[in-house]
Structure 1
Amino acid sequence: MNNKGKRYQTHNPNSTQQKPTAEKIVHVNPLSSCKLIVINSNIGSIMSGKFEHSIFNKKPDRYQIIRQLTQDEPASTSTYWQGVILLPPSHTYTYDTKLKTSIIESNLTHLQGQYPFANQDPFELIIDYIAEEHNKNKHGELVVRFSGGVDSTCLLLAAIEVAGKDHVTAITWFDEKCSANNDRNTATALCNTLDVNHILFKLEPEDFFQEVNPTDHFCINSSMASEQAFKKERDFIFSQLGHEFIVLDGHGGDHLFLDPVPSVAFQHLIREKRFFKGFNIAATISKLTGSNLYQTLTQNRRQQNNETDQLSYFFNSQFLPRRGAEKPKSLAEEHLQAITQAIFQNSTSSTLNKFNNIIFPFTSQKIIEYALTQNPYSMFDESETRLPIKRAFRKKHPNILLRRDKGHITGAYQKALKFHQKDIIKKLRSSWMTQENIINMPNIENSINRSAMGFGGVEKNLLKIICASLIKNV
Structure 2
Amino acid sequence: MYDGTTTWENIYEILPGFSIFISIFDLKCEFRLNDNFFFAKPVLDPAAILEEYINKNCGDDNVVIEFSGGLDSTALLYTACMVKKKSQIKALTWHHPDISAKEDINASQYVCQKLGIEHVKYSIKTEELFILDSFDHTITAPNLSLMFYMTRKKSHQICSRGRNDYSFINGHGGDHLFFDPPHYSSLINAYVDNGAFFAVKKLYQYSIFTGIPILQVLKKLIIHKRRSKEQNHYDTFYRHCSEKNSLDYGSKELIIAIIQAIFENQRSCPAKVYTPFTCKNMINFSLSRPTYESFNKTQKRIHFKKDIYFSYGKDTIIRNSKGHITGIYQKYFQQNAEKIKYIIEHDTILNTLNIDKKNTTP
Which category describes the TM-score, using the shorter chain as reference length? Answer: 0.7 to 0.9
2:282 corresponds to 1:367: yes
Instruction: Describe how 1:272-421 pairs up with structure 2 within 5 A.
Output: 274-299=195-220, 325=232, 331-346=250-265, 348-349=266-267, 352-355=268-271, 357-395=272-310, 396-417=312-333, 421=336
1:91 corresponds to = 18
User: Which ranges in structure 2 are unaligned for 5 or more consecutive residues?
Assistant: 240-248
- How has the CA–CA distance of structure 1 residues 224 and 359 changed in structure 2, closer, same or farther, with 3 Å as cutoff? closer
Asked if 1 retains the 8 angstrom alpha-carbon contact of 2:262 and 2:278, the reply is: yes
| Aligned-residue offset at 1:158 | 0.6
1:146 corresponds to = 67
Amino acid at match of 2:87: D
Paired with 2:149 and 2:73, the residues of 1 have a C-alpha distance of 21
2:157 corresponds to = 235
Give the number of the structure with larger relative contact order, counting CA–CA contacts within 8 Å between residues 6 or more apart: 2
| Aligned-residue offset at 1:168 | 0.6
Asked if 1 retains the 8 angstrom alpha-carbon contact of 2:96 and 2:124, the reply is: yes
Bigger shift: residues 125-134 or 152-161:
125-134
Out of 48, 65, 72, the residue aligned to residue 124 of structure 1 is 48
Paired with 1:373 and 1:358, the residues of 2 have a C-alpha distance of 27
| Aligned-residue offset at 1:192 | 0.8
Amino acid at match of 1:253: G
Paired with 2:34 and 2:222, the residues of 1 have a C-alpha distance of 31
Paired with 1:272 and 1:156, the residues of 2 have a C-alpha distance of 36
| Aligned-residue offset at 1:79 | 4.7
Tell me how many residue pairs correspond in the alignment. 339
- How has the CA–CA distance of structure 1 residues 3 and 88 changed in structure 2, closer, same or farther, with 3 Å as cutoff? closer
User: Secondary structure, in 3 states, of the residue corresponding to 2:114?
Assistant: helix
Asked if 1 retains the 8 angstrom alpha-carbon contact of 2:38 and 2:283, the reply is: no
| Aligned-residue offset at 1:190 | 1.1
Instruction: Describe how 1:438-457 pairs up with structure 2 within 5 A.
Output: 438=345
Deviations 1:105-136 (A, max 9, x none): 44467643x3251xx3221121121112232x
Asked if 1 retains the 8 angstrom alpha-carbon contact of 2:205 and 2:297, the reply is: yes
Paired with 2:145 and 2:30, the residues of 1 have a C-alpha distance of 28
Paired with 1:245 and 1:99, the residues of 2 have a C-alpha distance of 45
User: Secondary structure, in 3 states, of the residue corresponding to 1:334?
Assistant: helix
- How has the CA–CA distance of structure 1 residues 116 and 407 changed in structure 2, closer, same or farther, with 3 Å as cutoff? closer
Deviations 1:158-216 (A, max 9, x none): 10111121211001111233344321110101111111111101111321244778997
Paired with 1:167 and 1:273, the residues of 2 have a C-alpha distance of 48
| Aligned-residue offset at 1:245 | 0.7
User: Which ranges in structure 1 are unaligned for 5 or more consecutive residues?
Assistant: 5-76, 305-322, 440-464
Asked if 1 retains the 8 angstrom alpha-carbon contact of 2:185 and 2:251, the reply is: no
Asked if 1 retains the 8 angstrom alpha-carbon contact of 2:130 and 2:353, the reply is: no
User: Secondary structure, in 3 states, of the residue corresponding to 1:344?
Assistant: helix
User: Secondary structure, in 3 states, of the residue corresponding to 2:251?
Assistant: helix
Paired with 1:273 and 1:121, the residues of 2 have a C-alpha distance of 25
Paired with 1:133 and 1:83, the residues of 2 have a C-alpha distance of 31
Paired with 2:222 and 2:151, the residues of 1 have a C-alpha distance of 35
Deviations 1:136-164 (A, max 9, x none): xxx12110011111111110011011112
2:2 corresponds to = 3
Q: Percent identity?
A: 24
